[in-house]
Amino acid sequence: SEPVRVVHYINQAFAGIGGEEHADRPVEVRDGAVGASRALQQALGEQGTVVATIICGDNYAVEEPQAKEDIKAAIEKLKPDLVITGPAFDAGRYGVACTDTCLAAEALGIPAVTGMEPENPGLSGERKRAYTVPTGISASEMAAALKKMTALGLKRARGEELGPAAEEGYLPRGIRKLTHADKLGYERALDMLKARLEGAPFNSEVPLSEQN
């Protein structure tokens, strides 16, 4: 089969442009893999090709409404099979831009995947709908994060059915699907109670949100 055509979104730092002094840099599109996108291309191997890299400064991405419009227009013009953003690790502005870009791609009917630390502000509110692979806080985990992100992204690009978030390696999106179980509800509840009393591991069917 033909390699999956991938567009990668990164910020100015991971593009090798610079740090905070370039955080107001507007959206630009470069052909092929740039900066951290080269690591993404390595993770994709022969299964995918980074056809373009979208770059934007962190400040510009979250403060200028034009950024979202330009990024969406670029994706629409490039018509990739898959959009991958980040990973953003624990960088808040970068995380917000990554999830916004994913949701923009999804609105165009293009599957998208990102990656970041689960407490990143980029996962607040509606942004939780993005397919997000959990990462640590350090960019030293780049290779491991991209390996997981590409595996999930390629499955989505090929239209393969995904299993539950815990099995596929992405963060829960707040979406529940009905499935058939081998045991009745009260039997499963008793099994979980027994496991809890015995100190054995178990997974709740209704995970509770952490309350501060």
pLDDT in tens, 125-150: 888 899 999 999 988 899 999 999 99
- pLDDT value of position 179: 58
pLDDT at residue 198 greater than cutoff 90: no
pLDDT at residue 193 greater than cutoff 60: yes
Is residue 135 within 8 A of residue 117, CB to CB? The reply is: yes
- pLDDT value of position 211: 41
> What are the distances in angstroms from CA 162 to CA 108, 153, 155, 167, 168?
20, 11, 8, 9, 7
Cα–Cα dist 199/14, whole Å: 44
pLDDT at residue 206 greater than cutoff 80: no
- pLDDT value of position 114: 97
Average per-residue pLDDT for the chain: 89
Is residue 43 within 8 A of residue 111, CB to CB? The reply is: no
Listed ranges 73-87, 153-167, 175-189, 197-211; the one with the highest mean pLDDT = 73-87
Mean pLDDT of 203-209: 62
pLDDT at residue 210 greater than cutoff 70: no
Q: Residue 78's CB: how many other CB atoms inside 10 A?
A: 17
Digit-coded pLDDT (tens) for 102-119: 999 999 999 999 999 999
What is the rounded radius of gyration, in angstroms, for the C-alpha atoms of the chain? 19
Report the DSSP beta bridge partners of residue 30: 53
pLDDT at residue 212 greater than cutoff 50: no
The whole model's pTM is what? 0.83
Is residue 111 within 8 A of residue 82, CB to CB? The reply is: yes
Q: Are strands 28-31 and 48-56 parallel, antiparallel or unpaired?
A: antiparallel
